[in-house]
């Protein structure tokens, strides 16, 4: 921790509560964040159109631009249709209102894009923000928090730098929502602390995202598949929450797939890679380095390529370990490093059962098949139905995170809640039902006041469709087997009418 403090000025503990109180006061007292123009001004990074088009290559800025261009659309109240006839004269809307003060805790592996995306969504939704970046990237956190603090309104933004002690003090404050991206252990701590004040949480946690290769793959497709898998595993030195974590491959093609991935690593992707290489990302710190090299050293599989390391620079060469089983050291937890275990199988259903019993609910799953048509491919359909995941891809990897207009998030052990684009706006807003009523007259509401009359019964009956299907008693009270099909209303005889159903229901 002392080394971190040499590069990163930690926020004094005593200033954390006043900082949180400041942005909460800014949110409640001024109400400036309710203005769409104020939100746009906060999101704008003040660069010319030409330069923006030329320089706008980062996913984080792409999310900001998407949020700015769609803000009015996202904020527009939604009109509720199909309302009771007794309320036809009353405008009914769903409006999106800001939640209040949002705490955003971001990780080290993509310190900009994973921070900007969440911050942009929270700002667009009209909230005040407390931001805690990772202490594991001290130089980036120091510069980034200074830029944001200078650019954003201090009444609506407060940055906290620090480690466990500072984060603990932050969690002692009251927030209206917390978003955390990181590992499951810390995610559980945050969720438990948030539960004390009924604070909702978005958790983006990761997990062991598998590649599942089906047995219909044609041999000539193996190089393409190997290239995509290798990229999805080793980009950013494997330190990606949706990286390929391991491969399940049919025994019939597993050797050819491993051989091709080894060739791609040696000849195409990393032919000159060694410790200190500027174009190859290294492991974030010594603790992570020791954890990953421990997996490699304790594995009972065969190292097909890699295994080389340099403790001084936290360098680990891209490594593939072949011929492992589910009890291997590489299969216990999310790897989060440049290590790819490969398991062969002969029975897909048996292997999927093993997968779901050990590592259910990954953040993503990647399936490679010659036939991506789910309705025709029973193995593909079976796999997608069996493995619950935050997202899924067929014949590619990782790219789900790049979408600005689709939800990104986990399920089960990989987290809960989602964001990106309109889903960020929804995540950081409260959808409030809003009804406008008149005080000009009370006649249109007389149906709801005592006492009951025949005229009032007629009014309420208008909201029951003539062709409404009324289920028989067996649907409601005798569910021993499959629910029987409900009979249709017989308009001529009046059989099974609404009144008849109600009378039988309360006999």
What amino acid positions are annotated as catalytic residues?
Answer: 204, 241
Q: Bridge partners of 102?
A: 129, 177
**438, HSE (Cβ side, Cα atoms, 13 Å):** 11
Q: Are residues 487 and 501 in contact, defined by beta-carbon separation less than 8 angstroms?
A: no
Q: Bridge partners of 74?
A: none
Q: Are residues 296 and 303 in contact, defined by beta-carbon separation less than 8 angstroms?
A: yes
Gap between the Cα atoms of 89 and 413, Å rounded = 47
Sheet holding 78-79, edge to edge: 78-79, 92-98, 429-435
Beta strands, E only, 62-209: 78-79, 92-98, 101-105, 128-132, 157-159, 177-181, 201-204
Gap between the Cα atoms of 160 and 163, Å rounded = 10
Place of tokens 């007794």: 86
Gap between the Cα atoms of 327 and 485, Å rounded = 49
Helix (H, G, I), strand (E, B) or coil at 387: coil
Instruction: Classify 90 in phi/psi space as left (phi over 0), alpha (psi -120 to 50) or beta.
Output: beta
Gap between the Cα atoms of 75 and 124, Å rounded = 9
Q: What angle do CA 391, 229, 214 make, to 5 degrees?
A: 75
Q: How far are the Cα atoms of 61, 115, 246 from residue 334, in angstroms, in the given order?
A: 29, 22, 9
Gap between the Cα atoms of 429 and 426, Å rounded = 5
Gap between the Cα atoms of 243 and 227, Å rounded = 14
Gap between the Cα atoms of 118 and 100, Å rounded = 15
Q: Are residues 404 and 420 in contact, defined by beta-carbon separation less than 8 angstroms?
A: yes
Q: Bridge partners of 98?
A: 429
Which of 86, 377, 413, 370 shows the shortest CA–CA distance to 241?
Answer: 413
Q: What string of DSSP letters covers 233-300? A: HHGGGG--TTS--EEEEEHHHHHHHHHHHHHIIIIII-TT--TT-TTS---S-HHHHHHHHHHHHH--
Gap between the Cα atoms of 362 and 245, Å rounded = 10
């Amino acid at each position: 921790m002392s080394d971190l403090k040499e590069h990163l000025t930690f926020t004094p503990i005593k200033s954390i509560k006043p900082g949180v109180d400041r942005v909460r006061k800014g949110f409640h007292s001024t109400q400036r964040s309710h203005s769409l123009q104020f939100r746009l001004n906060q999101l704008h990074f003040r660069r010319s159109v030409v330069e923006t088009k030329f320089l706008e290559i980062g996913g984080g800025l792409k999310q900001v631009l998407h949020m700015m261009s769609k803000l009015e659309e996202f904020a527009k109240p939604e009109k509720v249709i199909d309302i009771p006839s007794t309320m036809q004269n009353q405008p009914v809307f769903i409006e999106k209102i800001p939640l209040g003060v949002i705490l955003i805790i971001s990780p080290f592996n993509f310190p900009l894009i994973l921070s900007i995306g969440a911050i942009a969504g929270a700002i667009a939704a009209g909230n005040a923000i407390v931001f805690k970046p990772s202490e594991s990237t001290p130089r980036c956190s120091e510069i980034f928090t200074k830029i944001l603090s200078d650019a954003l309104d201090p009444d609506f933004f407060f940055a906290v730098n620090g480690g466990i002690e500072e984060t603990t003090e932050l969690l002692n404050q009251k927030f209206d929502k917390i978003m955390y991206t990181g590992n499951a252990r810390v995610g559980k701590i945050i969720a438990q602390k948030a539960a004390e004040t009924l604070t909702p949480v978005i958790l983006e946690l990761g997990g062991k995202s598998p590649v599942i290769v089906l047995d219909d793959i044609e041999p000539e497709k193996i190089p393409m598949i190997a290239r995509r898998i290798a990229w999805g595993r080793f980009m950013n030195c494997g330190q990606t929450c949706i990286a390929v974590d391991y491969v399940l491959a049919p025994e019939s093609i597993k050797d050819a797939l491993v051989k091709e991935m080894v060739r791609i690593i040696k000849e195409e992707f990393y032919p000159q890679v060694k410790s200190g290489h500027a174009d190859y990302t290294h492991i974030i710190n010594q603790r992570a380095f020791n954890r990953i090299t421990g997996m490699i050293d304790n594995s009972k599989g065969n190292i097909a390529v890699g295994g080389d390391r340099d403790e001084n620079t936290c360098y680990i060469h891209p490594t593939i370990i072949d011929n492992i089983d589910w009890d291997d050291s590489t299969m216990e937890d999310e790897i989060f490093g440049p290590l790819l275990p490969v398991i062969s199988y002969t029975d897909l259903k048996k292997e999927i059962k093993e997968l779901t019993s050990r590592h259910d609910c990954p953040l993503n799953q990647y399936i490679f098949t010659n036939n991506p048509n789910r309705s025709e491919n029973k193995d593909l359909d079976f796999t997608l139905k069996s493995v619950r995941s935050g997202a899924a891809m067929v014949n590619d990897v990782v790219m789900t995170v790049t979408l600005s207009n689709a939800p990104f998030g986990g399920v089960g052990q990989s987290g809960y809640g989602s964001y990106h684009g309109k889903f960020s706006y929804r995540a950081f807003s409260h959808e409030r039902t809003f009804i406008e009523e008149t005080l000009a007259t009370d006649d249109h509401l007389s149906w709801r006041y005592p006492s009951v009359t025949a005229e009032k019964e007629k009014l309420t009956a208008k909201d029951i469709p003539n062709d409404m299907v009324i289920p028989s008693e067996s649907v409601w009270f005798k569910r021993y087997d499959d629910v029987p099909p409900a009979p249709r209303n017989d308009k001529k005889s009046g059989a099974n009418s609404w009144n008849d159903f109600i009378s039988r229901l309360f006999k």
